[in-house]
A and B are shown apart, each in its own frame.
Chain A
Amino acid sequence: MNIHEYQAKQLLKQHGVAVPSGEPCKTVAEAKAAAEKLFAAGHTLAVIKSQIHAGGRGKGTFKHGFKGGVKLAKSVDEAVNFAENMLGKTLVTVQTGPEGRVVQTILVAAAEKILKEYYLAVLLDRANSRPLIMASTEGGVDIEEVAAHSPEKIIKEWVDPAVGIQPYQARKIASGLGLKGDAFNGAVKLIMGVYKTWWECDASMVEINPLAVVETPAGKEAIICVDAKIGLDDNALYRHADILAMRDLAEESPLEIEASKFALNYIKLDGSIACLVNGAGLAMSTMDIIQHFGGMPANFLDVGGGASKDQVSAAFKIILSDPNVKAIFVNIFGGIMDCNVIATGIVEAVRETGLKLPLVVRLEGNNVAAGKATLASSGLTIISGDTMADAAKKVVAAVAA
């Protein structure tokens, strides 16, 4: 699960991490009040940030022509003008696709005077199954670029999960970033807090980019998280009711939400051949083999190892509600699962939905003869494939026809 920047900053703040003062606002009136509060507190600049789950907000353009999903305001009036141009409007960025996302919340926050930008992230290092803290003096830019071109500029510190992060590790990182004085001390506390956020929230990633040394209104140096991104481990959400409450369904695909209600794993793609498969590996391979023979998959869909008739029926309805779908490829290896149960589910689903599109079915495994007989005696036009390759060729041909 992903959350918004303002929510990520709330979690960080709860773990003692310094973030700019600010508030999420859903209306222009709220934005005005938040901006007034910031200017009254002595800040001279406020940043108004569109809250959507996609990146590239600053360089994005709203569909009504307004440029920039992140803007700096020098006055309350300016902040109000930006709020009016963002709230309820559709923002298109490099990551949203041409349809864009409606901005329902903006973050109105203090824009501190940035002296230097850094990068900080915590993630799992899969190579040794340990938490990894990554930091760099190259902040505010694409860290993958830094990793590719100047890997020496990335500091890595692994945490022993038996004891958790130790303060000396945070000091090593702060020193490696070249920080001194107040910024050094602030960074140590901040790094500890960012790590604790990652661990205690069961995050899959916490990324602070940029992390920045700023000049406070009092003229001192401080280090704060200017932007923050947190991804959560879905498997651990059961023990974080507060984080689960942050889920924003408006940011998720309606079809994917519908699929999750039936414990189906569905991801919409751009092609024309819908797939219905059991098992994640086989589902990925089915997409691959479709493309190998010249077709394009319309989705990833894993019905799981013990799919019921109801799930098969729900899966059909979901893949058929994608208007790009021109044919369906069912690929089932029923190891323990009874192929006849799947076949019965397919026949029922085809009747219920009045399916007119070509349907190619490849069934293999437990009780496969009965399953094939059920399909054959249904009176429906179902193209049968003997192997994955045979079925994939047939479904690609059906779309081309």
Chain B
Amino acid sequence: MSILVTPQTRLLVQGITGAFGARHAQLSIDYGTQVVAGVTPGKGGQIFEHRGVKVPIFDTVAEAVRETKATASAVFVPPPFAADAILEGVDAQLDLVVAITEGIPVNDMIKVKRAMQGRSTRLIGPNCPGIVTPGEGKDSHGGCRIGIAPGYIHKRGHIGVVSRSGTLTYEAVYQLTSRGVGQSTCVGIGGDPVNGTSHLDVIQLFMADPDTHGIIMIGEIGGSAEEEAAEWIKAHGTKPVAGFIAGATAPPGRRMGHAGAIVSGGKGTAQAKFDAFRAAGIGVAATPSEMADTLLKMM
């Protein structure tokens, strides 16, 4: 078991013929992920080929889903067209849309989020590294990798990882794997102020997943999503959770790389989030070097 995706998940890649989308479609194929379709408007009928795997390209997501039974999508479409691409996946009733694209205007995402109300599709991201459910093979080969995370650092196991940041997720995963501890699923929810899936959403999935025995939750300054997740864990948590918040030393009013990483009006401070973690019994890593050790001590 795992959450959101399994090695059987049938993936389509929106923007598969762009340099970025193509590169990561190849890496997902190398990882053993079932990449079953690509979508690039105007290139329908062409074939994306990598190491003997032939992936048909379609003009629309609807057509790709009809022909290939794809259930999940990775969006690598440039920012001005990304909101449209996400909604196309929603319209085609995909289970999951993972938007990797960085730099989508906030108002576009406000509209997307509103349009998705009452729809069955779950959105992860945007501006996120994606999802990995590690496989059983060498360097976790045979898993489902959607997005841009390095597959080889993972290991099949029982820790769930959820984070707003890409490289900080890799850091946590690497710490776990290098201590011989594997992961059930690792989810990057993205660094934008409006995103499809929150820390809390993923935490609830991990708590309900019998294969996940412990959780690492990584947050950042800005917003109050970490506090909301902590509040829920305090009331309903059944598994050990350890966490870290990046940006304790960031100056207020400055956007720290991620559009969502900003302390404004005294809100979204690292201190408030760490306090919420402690109040909920979440293990707080004193430094980002100790994320894995903090959790393992609790288990």
Contact = CB atoms under 8 A, between A and B. Distances in A.
A279 B152 CA distance: 19
Given A126-B260, A281-B167, A388 B174 contact: no
Contact of A204 (B106, B257, B258): B106
A235 B259 contact: yes
Given A233-B105, A292-B287, A283 B110 contact: no
B247 A284 contact: yes
A300 B256 CA distance: 7
- The interface centre, meaning the residue of A234, A280, A390 with most chain B CB atoms within 10 A of its CB, is A280
B165 to A, nearest CB: 2
Given A233-B106, A235-B103, A333-B167, 12 more contacts: A126-B224, A129-B109, A143-B265, A236-B106, A279-B165, A281-B168, A282-B167, A284-B247, A300-B257, A365-B153, A365-B174, A392-B289
Contacts of B153: 335, 365
Contacts of A390: 289
Contacts of A144: 265-266
Contact of B148 (A160, A277, A336): A336
B88 to A, nearest CB: 18
A235 B288 CA distance: 29
A282 B260 contact: no
Contacts of A269: 251
Contacts of B150: 335-336, 365-366
Interface of A: 124, 126-127, 129-131, 143-144, 147-148, 160-162, 199, 202, 204, 233-236, 238-239, 265, 267, 269, 277-285, 287-292, 297, 300, 302, 305, 333, 335-336, 364-366, 387-390, 392
B8 interface: no
Interface in B242-272: 244, 246-251, 254, 256-261, 265-266, 270
Given A144-B266, A202-B107, A235-B103, A285 B246 contact: yes
Contacts of A279: 165-168, 257
A234 B148 CA distance: 24
A230 to B, nearest CB: 14
Nearest to A280: B257
For the complex of A and B, list the 3 residue pairs with the smallest distance between their C-beta atoms, beginning with the closest. A281-B165, A280-B257, A279-B167
B239 interface: no
Nearest to B288: A285
30 contacts: A126-B260, A127-B228, A129-B110, A143-B265, A147-B265, A148-B266, A162-B115, A204-B106, A234-B259, A235-B104, A235-B259, A236-B105, A238-B80, A277-B167, A280-B220, A280-B261, A281-B166, A281-B246, A282-B246, A284-B247, A284-B257, A285-B288, A288-B288, A289-B288, A291-B248, A292-B287, A305-B167, A333-B167, A365-B150, A389-B287
Nearest to A278: B167
Q: Which of A160, A265, A290 has the most chain B CB atoms closer than 10 A to its own CB?
A: A265
A261 B105 CA distance: 20
A305 B288 contact: no
Contacts of B260: 126
Given A124-B194, A297-B249, A284 B220 contact: yes
Contacts of B248: 288, 291
A199 B170 CA distance: 36
A127 B111 CA distance: 15
B166 A389 contact: no
Contacts of B223: 126-127
Contact of A236 (B107, B114, B170, B289): B107
Contact of B174 (A161, A265, A283, A333): A333
Contacts of B169: 281
Interface of B: 27, 79-80, 103-111, 113-115, 148-150, 152-153, 163-171, 174, 191, 193-194, 218, 220-225, 228, 244, 246-251, 254, 256-261, 265-266, 270, 286-290
Contacts of B222: 126
A284 B80 contact: no
B174 A364 contact: yes
A125 to B, nearest CB: 10
Given A127-B224, A235-B105, A279-B165, A302 B257 contact: yes
Nearest to B20: A306
B289 A389 contact: yes
A15 to B, nearest CB: 15
A124 B193 contact: yes
A84 to B, nearest CB: 32
A124 to B, nearest CB: 6
A390 to B, nearest CB: 8
Contacts of B27: 336
B106 A235 contact: yes
Given A239-B80, A281-B163, A281-B168, A161 B114 contact: yes
Nearest to B166: A279
A204 B262 CA distance: 12
Contacts of B104: 235
A39 B200 CA distance: 59
Nearest to B23: A336
Contacts of B246: 281-282, 284-285, 288
B224 A267 contact: no
Contacts of B265: 143-144, 147
A99 B223 CA distance: 32
A128 to B, nearest CB: 9
Nearest to A390: B289
B177 to A, nearest CB: 12
Residue among B105, B107, B109, B169 with the highest chain A CB neighbour number at 10 A: B107
A291 B270 CA distance: 14
A280 B258 contact: yes
B171 A333 contact: yes
B288 A388 contact: yes
B257 A265 contact: yes
Contact of B256 (A126, A143, A162, A283): A283
